[in-house]
Amino acid sequence: MGLDDRKLAVLRAIVEDYVATQEPVGSKALVERHQLGVSPATVRNDMAVLEEEGYIRQPHTSAGRVPTDRGYRLFVDRLSRVKPLSPAERRAIERFLVGAVDLDDVVHRTVRLLAQLTRQVAVVQYPSLARSSVRHLELVPISTTRLMLVMIADTGRVEQRLVELPAPVPAEDVTDLRRLVNEKLVGSRLSDTPPLVQALVDEAGPHLRGAMTTLSTVLLETLVERHEERIALAGTANLTRGGLLDFQGSLRPILEALEEEVVLLKLIGEAEPSTTRVLIGDENEVDNLRAASVVSTGYGPGATIVGGLGVLGPTRMDYPGTIATVRAVARYVGDLLAQN
Amino acid sequence: MGLDDRKLAVLRAIVEDYVATQEPVGSKALVERHQLGVSPATVRNDMAVLEEEGYIRQPHTSAGRVPTDRGYRLFVDRLSRVKPLSPAERRAIERFLVGAVDLDDVVHRTVRLLAQLTRQVAVVQYPSLARSSVRHLELVPISTTRLMLVMIADTGRVEQRLVELPAPVPAEDVTDLRRLVNEKLVGSRLSDTPPLVQALVDEAGPHLRGAMTTLSTVLLETLVERHEERIALAGTANLTRGGLLDFQGSLRPILEALEEEVVLLKLIGEAEPSTTRVLIGDENEVDNLRAASVVSTGYGPGATIVGGLGVLGPTRMDYPGTIATVRAVARYVGDLLAQN
DNA sequence: GACTGGCACTCGCTACAGTCGAGTGCCAGG
DNA sequence: CCTGGCACTCGACTGTAGCGAGTGCCAGTC
């Protein structure tokens, strides 16, 4: 089990070379490109140990070594420093995000930026409703039996939903409804609203009871239950870089997974404060993504987290660079949101 | 130039077989599978003519024939009848679209349905704002210098945008603004609004002048200029069906094109009433899509058209079936919208 | 005891030759 | 105008051989 410093250096060198060249790396090439100070034969012995421990493997008997998922894991955890961003990258981020007029706009720009910088598939979750508070609720009469419910959250998200009323409701009553729901709900976290919504129904005057009951159902559905999360995606074309070597020949499972919002949320939505999460190959719980790695983190104004963002790519990716970029972009987006 | 009936029958048979098997089709196989009533040698002569005219070609000297884009074109125009949908498909469409609560919901369901039925990439344009009318405008105060502008269109679309006011505006003035913009703009087509918006500024009382000027700018930007069109996409994983034979080996250009909203709009957004448009391979103006075909049509309540939808797939696709499905889905969606 | 040089061995990759067969074009005859 | 026959083409597949990168092991050295 003893992995001395040199063996770790060998592993690091293998990962770096393989990521750069995409070809299995042999002992001779290794000593040439890195100053390890020992002969190829020694490196070979180290490699044999690393292989036995499951950090690298040979695709074919007479080929060089390739890192395993476990090898990448060790590399990420102990052998790499997060690369500082180049000034050019910092400038690119700022230039890209300045001038966003809108939450939608921010999210779209962010996801494109992330895809472009990392040259991978980027995923950005809209600020989670569960973590937002109600800033305002608007009821717009469409007809006597139809209302448009518009909810504005403090994170900038705006959700709307059509409400079909059981019976015609006069304009004054709509005003009353509007006042009531705003009095009760504005300022509270969406995740805390269910009991408040229930209370609304109980407190409504008899003439509002019917309308309020319907409204409360829609409120609960829209704000709490139904696909409350939204996702933006960009850079799928980057999956085709590196020929078909990555992803073991078929993009199919990856593309399928990317179409499932639920899957994406699982990947990037479970962020903990100020951590960057790296999931490598097999560590991924989604079967379709066993050949991919995901780097994700949370973002939000200040220290609070309102959503997640990240990138997905081949296990053979530049982890230090990707991690740095994901973190930097998340921080910039957080700052941008804080300005509201 | 004489393409007699039998030569056309041969072309039809070639297209059908090639679409079904994905393999170049030879003269012998043709006479076996179709009752042409002639010998392989005769078919060969016909093939030679068809090739000379550019309707089919040989991938290799000793291989069978494959339709060219021009061949597909002739097939679509003159040799195929639109396949009636199976009852199962009709039921699938109804089942899928019933229960949509929302415009967003309708669009999402539609695009997934279309992808599933055609087993191709589906694209649905949200009802175009330019073709919608204003149903209601709402101004929600966020702070004294910030308003949220919410526009509800008769097609069900809801757009919102933050307005940064040059100076604080008291609540009464917001009420006035709201009344003014609604009086002037409700009911008019979005494409007709620019002069009306201009008039608003001129007519506003002096104390509202500043706020109204800013508001009008945002109105014009949001409603008329800025990315007024939205698009939903599904089924990209279907691109990987048929191995890498379709799309001449690389999905890259296709995936790139699919990320460009502008490109997609060009493909499906220019629908004329009740026509189904079929673009085959080279006919496509987008370079990245020279290896693909697009089947698209307009949809909307009754006879009016508010948006486009369609599918994208390999030139080797089942045109009659795809056309039928696209049309049927468009009609169902139109009916659904008409119920509003 | 750790490292090194040397050596035999493995095995994927490439090139090359040979065979097979699907499919063609052409031609003479019905 | 259609058909059967025939020579021809050429891609796909198979088998063989040589090359070379890379390995594992071992005996020798510091």
> Pick the residue with more confidence: B119 or B226?
B119
**Residue B266: is it exposed, middle or buried by C-beta count within 10 angstroms (0-12/13-18/19+)?**
middle
* Positions of strand C less than 7 angstroms from a protein CB: 3-6, 10-13, 21-27
| Chain D positions with any atom < 7 A from a protein CB | 2-5, 9-11, 20-26
Q: How confident is the model at residue B271 (pLDDT cuts 50, 70, 90)?
A: low
Is the distance between the Cβ of A60 and the closest atom of strand C smaller than 7 Å? yes
- pTM metric for this prediction: 0.90
Query: Which H, E and C letters describe B199-253, residue by residue?
Result: HHHHHCCHHHHHHHHHHHHHHHHHHHHCCCCCEEEECHHHHHCCCCCHHHHCCHH
Confidence of residue B227 (pLDDT cuts 50, 70, 90): low
Q: How confident is the model over A56-110, as pLDDT tens digits? A: 999 888 888 999 999 999 999 999 988 899 999 999 999 888 888 788 889 999 9
pLDDT tens per residue across span B311-322: 999 999 999 999
CB of B58 under 7 A from strand C?
yes
Tell me which fold the domain A130-224 belongs to. Answer: Enolase-like; domain 1 (3.30.390)
Cβ of B237 within 8 Å of Cβ of A255? The answer is yes
Rank A207-211, A315-319, B204-208, B335-339 by mean pLDDT and report only the highest.
A315-319
> How many angstroms is C1' of D1 away from CA of B42?
10
Distance of residue B157 Cα from the nearest chain A Cα, in angstroms? 10
Confidence bin at A273 (pLDDT 50/70/90): low
**Residue A1: pLDDT over 60:** no
H/E run at residue B258: helix B252-258
Going from N- to C-terminal start, the domains of chain B cover 3-78, 87-128+229-338, 130-224
Identify the residues numbered 136 to 175 in chain A whose C-beta atom is closer than 7 Å to any atom of strand C: none
Alpha helices by DSSP H, A141-247: 171-185, 193-203, 209-220
pLDDT digits (tens, 9 = 90+) for B87-144: 999 999 998 888 887 888 899 999 999 999 999 999 999 998 888 889 999 998 888 8
Asked if pLDDT for residue A271 goes beyond 80, the answer is: no
pLDDT at B1: 47
Query: CB distance B138–A152 less than 8 Å?
Result: no
| Nearest-CA residue relative to C1' of C11 | A62
**Structure confidence at residue A2 (pLDDT):** 59
Q: pLDDT tier at B234 (50, 70, 90 boundaries)? A: very high
B contacts of A252 (beta carbons < 8 Å):
237, 240
Task: Please report the pLDDT score of residue B319 as a whole number.
Answer: 96
Concatenate the DSSP letters of all residues of A153-184 into one string. ETTS-EEEEEEE-SS---HHHHHHHHHHHHHH
User: What does the pLDDT average to over A321-325?
Assistant: 96
Mean pLDDT along residues A182-208 = 87
Question: Can you name the residues that pair with B328 across neighbouring β-strands?
Answer: none
* Residue from the list A152, A237, A259 with its beta carbon closest to the beta carbon of B140: A152
B252 touches chain A (CB under 8 A): yes
Of 3.40.50.360, 3.40.50.20, 3.30.70.3270, 1.10.10.10, which CATH number belongs to B3-78?
Answer: 1.10.10.10
Whether the Cβ atoms of residue A128 and residue A269 lie closer than 8 Å to each other: yes
What pLDDT is attached to residue B143?
87
- What percent of chain A stands above pLDDT 90? 51
Q: What does the pLDDT read at residue B117?
A: 96
User: Which one is predicted more confidently, A73 or B192?
Assistant: A73
> Tell me, what's the pLDDT at A14?
95
Edge-to-edge strands, sheet with A158-164: A134-143, A146-153, A158-164
**CB proximity B258 to A under 8 Å:** yes
- Give pLDDT, residue B274: 65
Convert the pLDDT of each residue in A33-64 to its tens digit.
898 888 899 999 999 999 999 999 998 888 88
Task: Give the pLDDT band (50/70/90) at residue B244.
Answer: low
Whether any strand D atom is under 7 angstroms from the Cβ of A63: the reply reads: yes
**Mean pLDDT confidence for A206-220:** 88
- Of residues A3 and B314, the one with the higher pLDDT is B314
Residues of chain A by 3-state class (helix, strand, coil), percent to 5: 50, 20, 30
pLDDT at A129: 86
Cβ pairs A/B, distance under 8 A: 73
Report which of residues B309 and A244 the model is more confident about. B309
Which two three-digit tokens encode residue B126?
Answer: 């949200």
Other CB atoms within a 10 A radius of the CB of residue B307 amount to 29
DSSP per residue over A271-340, as a string?
PPTT-EEEEEGGG-SSGGGTTEEEEEEEE-STT---EEEEEEEESSS-HHHHHHHHHHHHHHHHHHHHT-
Span B241-245, average pLDDT: 72
Across A261-274, average pLDDT: 81
* Cross-chain residue pair B158–A160, CB shorter than 8 Å: yes
Note whether A132 contacts B: Cβ–Cβ < 8 A.
no
pLDDT at A311: 97
Distances (CA, A) of B57 to B15, B47, B284: 12, 9, 20
Confidence of residue B226 (pLDDT cuts 50, 70, 90): low
CB pair distance less than 8 Å for A237 and B250: no
Work out the number of other CB atoms within 10 angstroms of the CB of residue A22. 14
Confidence band of A340 (pLDDT split at 50, 70, 90): low
User: CB of A67 under 7 A from strand D?
Assistant: no
In this prediction, residue B331 has a pLDDT band, given cuts at 50, 70 and 90, of: very high
Give the confidence band of B295 by pLDDT, cuts at 50, 70, 90: very high
Residues 7-46 of A with CB within 7 A of strand C: 37-39, 41-42, 45
Give percent of chain A above pLDDT 70.
Answer: 96
**Which are the contacts of B176, defined by CB distance < 8 A and separation ≥ 6?**
B205, B208
Q: Give me A78's structure tokens.
A: 């102990």
Rg value, chain A, Cα: 26
B255 touches chain A (CB under 8 A): yes
Superfamily per CATH, domain A87-128+229-338? GAF domain (3.30.450.40)
Candidate from A152, A161, A250 with C-beta closest to B148: A152
Mean pLDDT over each residue of chain A, to the nearest integer: 89
What is the distance of C-alpha B286 from the center of its chain? 15
Do B3-78 and B87-128+229-338 fold alike per CATH? no
Distance B4 CA to C23 C1' (A): 24
Q: Do B162 and A240 touch (CB under 8 A)?
A: no
Q: Please check whether residue A259 touches B, CB under 8 A.
A: yes
Task: Say how far apart CA B147 and CA B215 lie, in whole Å.
Answer: 9
pLDDT at B191 over 90: no
Q: State yes or no: pLDDT of B325 exceeds 90.
A: yes
- pLDDT of A53 reads 92
pLDDT in the model for residue A274: 65
Q: How confident is the model at residue B2 (pLDDT cuts 50, 70, 90)?
A: low
Are B152 and A142 in contact (CB < 8 Å)? yes
